[in-house]
A and B are shown apart, each in its own frame.
Chain A
């Protein structure tokens, strides 16, 4: 701990993917680097530990990636999900640079594997980490250790000291002791504020208290708020977060990938009052799962129930919690804690509206209801074969959009213009590029690209 008194070339706040990329780049150039990770070692890595792939442009087969995925197509994909809520200059920079990042990542010890079973649709665009995001995080921590980077766990930064646009140090709680850690430059990589339920509740209303947080409980936005209070420019809608519908029995925090439910398109979804509220078969699930977080959030008590019968139980990937099961629809309703009688009449109305036709689980099959509101426009098969199954759905928050505005060097702008030695990377600035929606694996792209840029910029600034 004595080394903490040193004047560091670079102080990195946060310990996820973007933080590590910045630390490694700076250390490779000879800078002395300290990483202040708020989580204990077991939970290090922020939300990166839950990720699984990296969306990567490539003009020919690259590592595990097949075919080509060029800038225009990548950018079009981004435009589609963000509905234009992006900064084209920064977005194209991230996309173009992603291609050279993949070999760099491999050089640092990150390993990739072919697309996981059930995700073949991503084999062209997304390179999957062997073992997932935690394995990537482990590889980077090992690399950082080899480069002599100092890592302090359970180091919660409470204040970033900036005078007239110049950074001089951070105030940090380490194991209950407040310390001042001084540095010549700082990279802020401490994530969004989605784990701060009070903050979410201020933005979303009291309903947010019922949200589940899919990722790390350590992203409480303390540094983000401190920077905003100091006049740093922000970007992104402060009231919005990315939420998907997940299993209602998931842990409050850190449930990660296994809490997702892929049953919605093959089910009917009812709210607490036993009523349907949206077209479950609007499109294939990878294109619809993101809107269901909001749909469920808008229902009373922020809860919904997905109901299927035996015909559909094997139509989707298994989830971590077994479904609630009953031999009658009424019994299922009671077990789920909603009115069995109302559920029965909802199911009967749905069944009566189903039409004859061929069911195809893997594509839009046009099997639609007739005369039902809201209609179900694909995969509408009557729910008739016992046993019946039900899953509770709740909104699971992945990340928040509000962030620090940065330029193409990842530098933060304050009231007095561009700050001299303050950079922001990862989720704390991702709203600059991803202002709405989500594109699988793009968060890791933003983190890697801008983490590397910031690390190099910071090293160049101090050395």
Chain B
């Protein structure tokens, strides 16, 4: 994989996005597909911040591309999902904090793979180097306090970084004070992935040319809800540990196990499905230069889920130690690169939906 990826200067991308959005605003045939087009029609001129907001509001359902009478070879050469994907990528780079990491894991698969190797190596070293503790289960390999010492900062630091980025985004798009109604609107859109629904529930265009399907939408929700369940599993375990003084390992019919197993399964299946769909999709309708980074990120998510399940299945076997290192290494890598990888899309998209709710109401 080459590191020589041409990147248009930011102003060119924005200028091209502006040109395309202005054509869309003179046409308006696509109003019914998603939230982007009604947002376009509410304006006449588009500042950089407006384009950034539209780009992050776009869910890349691609309906507008296939319906467009002005796609190449027409001289207007519209490809709105493609150019908005590029603007989106660049906005995440611009708002990334610290700036030094901007774009490091967004576009290419190789840095993600390297980060994973480092994460894994670190955990392998820990697991093998440390003497066995008197803890039970995983704690026999890595004590609870060491896990907290590693993972608490590995979780909190990226959250702070994302918070800084979101704040910058909010200023750029002219965000206003957030009310409950805005959040409700945004969360319900995310919960149903409404903007991948094609406006009438027929789904999006992705893996099969101009035919609509809900496959990508369902696969995405499997990953998203799977991830949230895994997160809930960890949170419930933390609460049980500290509040109820119930220590891991937990039984199968405990909250952490039920949530974690279901979530892990959903994440693994969903990620694999997304990868298969993405392989059949037209790359030029997304950000072409970020394809590798996106693919590697989905694989990392899938790996995280899958190794978690495998680890559970291997309980009581000699595989636990290496699988524990594998799983925790994947989780660690995932957390650390979150602000600088595709994962950050979820935060910006939610922000864009909240902002959009503010312009509607």
Contacts and interface: CB of A to CB of B under 8 A. Distances in A.
B70 A130 contact: no
Of B27, B28, B44, most buried by chain A (CB within 10 Å of CB) is B28
Contact of A132 (B23, B30, B199): B30
A29 interface: no
A257 B32 contact: no
A320 B29 contact: no
Given A257-B26, A320-B23, A132 B200 contact: no
Contacts of A52: 29
A142 B210 contact: yes
B22 interface: yes
B28 A116 contact: yes
A135 B66 contact: yes
Interface in B12-33: 22-23, 25-33
Interface string A124-144: 000001111111001000100
A116 B29 contact: yes
B44 A257 contact: no
Interface string B287-316: 000000000000000000000000000000
Nearest to B64: A131
A314 to B, nearest CB: 7
A314 B70 CA distance: 25
A111 interface: yes
Contacts of A42: 71-73
B75 interface: yes
A421 B74 CA distance: 37
B240 interface: no
Contacts of A130: 32-33, 67, 199-200
A275 interface: no
Nearest to B205: A138
Contacts of B74: 251, 254
A228 interface: no
A463 to B, nearest CB: 29
Contacts of B41: 117-118
Contacts of A251: 74-76
B69 interface: yes
A132 B22 contact: no
Interface in B305-337: none
Contacts, number: 87
A320 B200 CA distance: 28
B63 interface: yes
A30 interface: no
Contacts of B284: none
B213 to A, nearest CB: 12
Given A132-B29, A257-B29, A113 B69 contact: no
A462 B23 CA distance: 47
B200 A131 contact: no
A258 B21 CA distance: 12
B247 interface: no
Contacts of B68: 134
B202 interface: yes
Contacts of A50: 69
A133 B11 CA distance: 33
A249 to B, nearest CB: 12
Given A134-B67, A142-B210, A258 B26 contact: yes
A129 B202 CA distance: 14
Nearest to B45: A318
Contacts of A133: 29, 69
B184 interface: no
Contacts of A49: 69
A44 to B, nearest CB: 11
A38 interface: no
Given A117-B28, A117-B41, A256 B69 contact: yes
A122 B155 CA distance: 54
Contact of A320 (B22, B33, B71): B22
Of B26, B38, B67, B69, most buried by chain A (CB within 10 Å of CB) is B69
A118 B28 contact: yes
A317 interface: yes
A320 B31 contact: no
Contacts of B69: 49-50, 132-134, 254, 256-257
Contact of A131 (B26, B33, B76, B211): B33
Contact of B26 (A43, A129, A138, A319): A319
Interface of A: 42-43, 49-50, 52, 111, 113-114, 116-118, 129-135, 138, 142, 251, 254, 256-258, 314, 317-320
Q: Which 10 A-B pairs have the closest CB atoms?
A: A131-B67, A132-B29, A113-B32, A135-B67, A258-B26, A320-B26, A138-B210, A130-B32, A258-B27, A117-B41
27 contacts: A42-B71, A42-B72, A49-B69, A113-B199, A113-B200, A117-B38, A117-B41, A130-B33, A130-B67, A131-B30, A131-B33, A131-B63, A132-B30, A133-B29, A133-B69, A134-B66, A134-B67, A134-B68, A135-B29, A135-B67, A138-B210, A142-B210, A251-B75, A254-B74, A256-B69, A258-B26, A318-B26
